Amino acid sequence: MHVRPLAPQLEVGVVGLGTWSVFDVGSDRQPLADEVVATMLAAGGRLLDSSPMYGSAERVLSAALGDRRDEAVVATKIWTSSVAEGRAQFAEHLELYRGRVEVEQVHNLVRWHQHLGWLEEEQAAGRIRALGATHYSPRAFGELAEVMRTGRIQMVQVPYNPGERECEADILPLAQELGLGVLGMRPLGSGSLGRGPGPEELAALGVQTWAEAVLVWDLSDPRITAVIPATSNAEHAAANARAGEHPGFSPEQRHRVEALWRARR
Ligand SMILES: NC(=O)c1ccc[n+]([C@@H]2O[C@H](COP(=O)([O-])OP(=O)(O)OC[C@H]3O[C@@H](n4cnc5c(N)ncnc54)[C@H](OP(=O)(O)O)[C@@H]3O)[C@@H](O)[C@H]2O)c1
Determine the structural domain holding residue 32 and report its residue range. 3-263
Using a 6 Å cutoff on CB, does residue 231 contact ligand 1? yes
Using a 6 Å cutoff on CB, does residue 134 contact ligand 1? yes
When divided into structural domains, the chain yields a total of 1
pLDDT, tens only, 85-103 = 999 999 999 999 999 999 9
pLDDT, tens only, 160-209 = 999 999 999 999 999 999 999 999 999 999 989 999 999 999 999 999 99
- What is the pLDDT averaged over residues 123-141? 98
Give, using CA atoms, the residue closest to atom 47 of ligand 1.
18
- For residues 249 and 27, the answer to whether their CB atoms sit within 8 Å is no
Give the global pTM. Answer: 0.97
Report the CATH number that the domain containing residue 23 is assigned in CATH.
3.20.20.100
DSSP-derived letter for residue 230 is B
Burial class (CB in 10 A: 0-12, 13-18, 19+), 91: exposed
- For residues 254 and 211, the answer to whether their CB atoms sit within 8 Å is no
**Site to substitute for ligand 1 among 109, 231, 242, most atoms within 8 A of C-beta:** 231
The confidence score (pLDDT) of residue 191 equals 85
Using a 6 Å cutoff on CB, does residue 185 contact ligand 1? yes
